[in-house]
């Protein structure tokens, strides 16, 4: 008696490894999801992409008046508008990307429960799409630099590393929060107040040198465990001719970002088999 060959598809127990070849095979899907994320955001907006400049500009004016003028927060000798922009731009990218990535599975449950594709694509989409806003904001930062007669130096070669740290950190936390938010909907609400709290833990409105001056060099390096510390301080060092890049701080932030990516990916893959059941 001949039997018809068949394949049984069942969920894998525990954590499954990342299939890089599969993700590469779905690269066109990732591309169109990133493109859709960008176009939907500005499609019916009057000012369109101008909001990318307006938002940080408003924040710079507010921070300069409140923290630079009234509170007298030091800026390491950098004009406060430049100092503030170096904190606002990477933080805006981090916060908006993390919020979108954290809610990606919940908002797209109706898609991935019906059609198969690598689930990592969903939280990774805003991590890539928000880079456009960051790049446009960075061009605005360059214009402000030229206004204050700051030029481009060889230290700008560190810029790709700073962007990579941002991407790795945001992706790791995005994978983590998105997989947890699907099972525990409280995560969605927790992000609304957790992310603003994380801003004040980062050196956005104050220099990390305050930690160095008050607690010493070791505490300063430990502060780099928060990856956005290395990104923000690296960006400020990059644009300031007489401010050296602290490579040890960048190394700590890079290592911390990689650890977050590994943990976030592990948690995501471990919970992936239950996504369809809890969505």
pLDDT digits (tens, 9 = 90+) for 110-135: 887 787 888 899 999 999 999 999 99
What is the average pLDDT score of the chain?
86
pLDDT for the residue numbered 2: 54
Q: How far apart, in whole angstroms, are the C-alpha atoms of residue 276 and residue 202?
A: 36
Q: Tokens at residue 261, please? A: 């990516």
Q: Which of 18-27, 42-51, 115-124 has the highest mean pLDDT?
A: 115-124
Q: How far from 11 is each of 16, 22, 172, 218, 273, CA to CA, in Å?
A: 10, 17, 23, 46, 6
Higher per-residue pLDDT: 67 or 263: 263
pLDDT for the residue numbered 187: 82
Query: In this structure, are residues 97 and 174 in contact, taking their beta carbons and an 8 Å threshold?
Result: yes
Query: In this structure, are residues 190 and 173 in contact, taking their beta carbons and an 8 Å threshold?
Result: no
Residue 15's pLDDT band (cuts 50, 70, 90): low
pLDDT for the residue numbered 279: 59
pLDDT for the residue numbered 16: 58
Q: How far apart, in whole angstroms, are the C-alpha atoms of residue 253 and residue 25?
A: 31
Q: Which of 103-107, 203-207, 226-230 has the highest mean pLDDT?
A: 226-230
Residue 48's pLDDT band (cuts 50, 70, 90): low
Q: How far apart, in whole angstroms, are the C-alpha atoms of residue 167 and residue 127?
A: 7
Compute the average pLDDT of residues 164-179.
95
* pLDDT at residue 13 tops 70: no
* pLDDT at residue 104 tops 80: yes
Residues 6 or more apart whose Cβ sits within 8 Å of residue 117? 26, 29
Higher per-residue pLDDT: 239 or 10: 239
Compute the average pLDDT of residues 43-51.
66
Q: What is the DSSP string of 68-120?
A: IIIS----TTS-HHHHHHHHHHHHHHHHHHHHHHHTHHHHTHHHHTTS-S-TT
pLDDT for the residue numbered 77: 84
Q: Would you report the helix, strand and coil content of the chain in percent, each value rounded to 5?
A: 75, 0, 25
Higher per-residue pLDDT: 195 or 113: 195
Q: How far apart, in whole angstroms, are the C-alpha atoms of residue 202 and residue 230?
A: 10
Q: Is 155 helix (H, G, I), strand (E, B) or coil?
A: helix
pLDDT for the residue numbered 76: 84
């Amino acid at each position: 008696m001949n039997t018809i060959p068949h394949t049984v598809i069942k969920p894998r127990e525990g954590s499954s490894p990342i299939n890089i070849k599969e993700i590469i095979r779905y690269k066109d899907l990732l591309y169109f999801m990133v493109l859709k994320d960008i176009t939907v955001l500005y499609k019916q907006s009057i000012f369109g992409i101008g909001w990318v400049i307006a938002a940080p500009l408003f924040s710079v004016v507010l921070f300069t008046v409140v923290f630079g003028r009234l509170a007298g927060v030091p800026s390491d000798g950098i004009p406060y508008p430049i100092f503030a922009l170096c904190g606002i731009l990477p933080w805006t990218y981090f916060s908006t990307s993390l919020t979108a990535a954290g809610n990606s599975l919940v908002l797209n449950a109706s898609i991935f429960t019906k059609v198969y594709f690598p689930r990592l694509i969903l939280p990774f989409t805003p991590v890539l799409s928000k880079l456009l806003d960051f790049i446009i904001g960075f061009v605005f930062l360059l214009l402000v630099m030229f206004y204050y007669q700051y030029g481009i130096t060889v230290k700008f070669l560190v810029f790709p590393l700073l962007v990579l740290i941002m991407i790795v950190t945001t992706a790791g936390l995005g994978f983590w929060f998105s997989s947890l938010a699907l099972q525990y909907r409280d995560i969605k609400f927790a992000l609304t107040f957790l992310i603003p709290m994380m801003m004040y833990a980062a050196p956005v409105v104050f220099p990390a040198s305050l930690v160095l001056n008050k607690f010493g060099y070791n505490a300063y390096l430990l502060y780099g465990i928060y990856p956005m510390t290395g990104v923000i301080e690296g960006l400020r060092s990059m644009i300031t001719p007489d401010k050296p890049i602290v490579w040890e701080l960048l190394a700590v932030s890079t290592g911390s970002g990689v650890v977050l990516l590994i943990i976030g990916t592990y948690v995501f893959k471990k919970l992936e088999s239950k996504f369809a059941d809890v969505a």
